[in-house]
Amino acid sequence: MKPPPSRAGDPEVSFAAMRALRTAVPDAVWPALLPPLGLDMLALQYQFERTERLPPDELEQAQFRQLDLLLQHAVREVPYYREMLPRAGYHPDRPLTPELWWQLPILTRATLQSQRDSLRASAYPPEHGKASEHRSSGSTGVPISVMKPALCDFFWEAITLRDHLWHRRDLGGTLAALRTRQVPGGTPEDGIVSTIWNHGVSAAFRTGPGVLLEGVRSTSERIDWLLRKQPTYIQTSPSMVREMLRAMDRRPIRFERLKGILTYSEQVPPGLREETQARLGVPLKDMFSCREIGYMALECPDHAHYHVQSEVVLVEIVDEQGSPCAAGRPGRVVVTPLHNFAMPLIRYALGDYAEFGPPCPCGRGLPVLSRILGRTRNMMRLPDGDGKWLDLAPLEKRIRDLPVKQYQLAQRALGVIEARIVAARRLSEGEEKAIRDTVAGPCGAAGCNVTLRYLDEIPRSAGGKYEDFMCELA
């Protein structure tokens, strides 16, 4: 195995990280003697630094060793797979090959919902820890409930730490999280304050405080809260970042200690990374995850694409017939978490679309996702039944020059696009025409009748997500 390149001469990595290490022995801060959970976290990071630079064929071999164990367990302990896997040609006494793997049926969200009980294992290794229920937001209209053992939560924490270390974040700063979901019983008016960022990171490193604001709040309320907290990092959805940047046109906003924006849950709109850097002076870094699976990909620290987290999940991109898509060709995202023995999800179709890219110049062998495109409902329906992804970059550029706070495109019928806007004033005829022409032209909705509709607010989905384009055809 080829070791990763040395970074010993990088003082930002070596000294800052060493200084933040947590010790379990009083007055022994250097070298630090970590508590057991911290040792496990750092042991995984040590492995990650090496496995992330394996050649693709060696990564695949390692994944298939783990997948074979998962499938053997599924045949023994999971009623659904006890019947399905042998029928599909898998037998525990035969080697698991990529060719056999691609023959296994894809698990849909509808099947996961209807067969939930038969997908649960009757037993799994007790060392994996107690299983708990994880529910998706139901933003697709099909809420999903999955049982996951504590081992999956441990890997979630380890990948979270990997993300912070990749991006060399200042762990001693304040991390502020903004979420739109409502919390039963409500939350304090000024949010929740914790002494740590999260348990996995703080097991190995001393962190600054974490602050959290949940629930439905106005943009101005969120900004006021952030200005009071003056965080080092802000973690939220891309749409909230965009709303905050639009608010900067109407009021002065200054974050004294801000070093970065962390986003999740939604697609990053075109141009948002560049606008964040230009207006706030900090980078925006995204991640690809979901509650039923966990992390699937992290943004590369050096490039604006994503690295699949191959140590914990197998990610496939397939066409509508289930065949693998080559790099540069969009397809359905099909995932298999490698360590969920409590409720195995084998070749699970998330409902998302994405695209593999070429190997990354950073030297990591982890597969590259060059684009994450959204779900089927974010695709424009064509008369022949096919779908088409609109390029919203031209509209984003046009909107920035107008007093528009929010926008959303909705396909109401074949050949009919409704542009919903929330604006500070009524647009002029010329401005309205510019929006219609941009949607019908550069955005790719040629031949469509584009209408405008003014709204006071564009609501988020049941899961708190905001979507720039929605197909509302039945």
Residue 84 in tokens: 């399905």
By the 8 A CB rule, do 335 and 308 touch? no
Residue reference for tokens 């049941």: 462
Separation CA 298–CA 312 (nearest Å): 12
By the 8 A CB rule, do 151 and 128 touch? yes
Angle between helix axes 219-229 and 238-247 (nearest 10 degrees) is 90
The string of DSSP letters for 192-224 reads: EEESSS-HHHHHHB----EEEE-S---HHHHHH
Intervals of the chain under pLDDT 70: 1-18, 27, 29, 137-142, 182-186, 462-463
Residue 191 in tokens: 């949010």
Q: How far apart are the first and last CA of the chain?
A: 52
What are the distances in angstroms from CA 190 to CA 101, 223, 244, 247?
50, 12, 18, 21
Q: Which residues pair with 471 in a beta bridge?
A: 411
The pLDDT of residue 29: 67
With H, G, I as helix, E, B as strand and everything else as coil, classify residue 317: strand
Residue 443 lies in a domain: yes
Residue 294 lies in a domain: no
Separation CA 432–CA 452 (nearest Å): 7
Q: Which among 213, 160, 237 is positioned nearest to 463, based on CA atoms?
A: 237
Q: What is the reported pTM? A: 0.88
Which residues, in sequence order, are CB contacts of 389 under 8 Å at separation 6+?
Answer: 330, 353, 373, 374, 378, 379, 380, 444
Burial class (CB in 10 A: 0-12, 13-18, 19+), 195: exposed
By the 8 A CB rule, do 409 and 469 touch? yes
Report the helix count and the strand count for the chain, using DSSP H and E: 13, 20
Residue 375 lies in a domain: no
Angle between helix axes 429-440 and 393-400 (nearest 10 degrees) is 160
Residue 424 lies in a domain: yes
- Cis amide prior to 31 (ω within 30 degrees): yes
Residue 203 lies in a domain: no
Separation CA 19–CA 295 (nearest Å): 28
Residues 89, 93, 98: CA angle, nearest 5 degrees: 50
Q: What is the CA radius of gyration of the chain?
A: 23
SS3 helix, strand, coil % of the chain, rounded to 5? 30, 25, 45
The pLDDT of residue 137: 60
Separation CA 197–CA 38 (nearest Å): 14
Residue 42 in tokens: 């750092």
Q: Residue 101 phi/psi, 5° resolution?
A: -55, -45
With H, G, I as helix, E, B as strand and everything else as coil, classify residue 159: helix
Residue 421 lies in a domain: yes
397: containing domain: 380-471
Q: Which among 38, 51, 107 is positioned nearest to 312, based on CA atoms?
A: 51
Instruction: Give me the number of domains the chain comprises.
Output: 1
The pLDDT of residue 297: 98
Residue 392 lies in a domain: yes
By the 8 A CB rule, do 282 and 288 touch? no
Residue 212 in tokens: 């959290």
Residue 254 lies in a domain: no
What are the distances in angstroms from CA 279 to CA 16, 56, 247, 248, 362?
28, 38, 12, 9, 27
Q: What is the CATH number of the domain that holds 412?
A: 3.30.300.30
Separation CA 16–CA 12 (nearest Å): 6
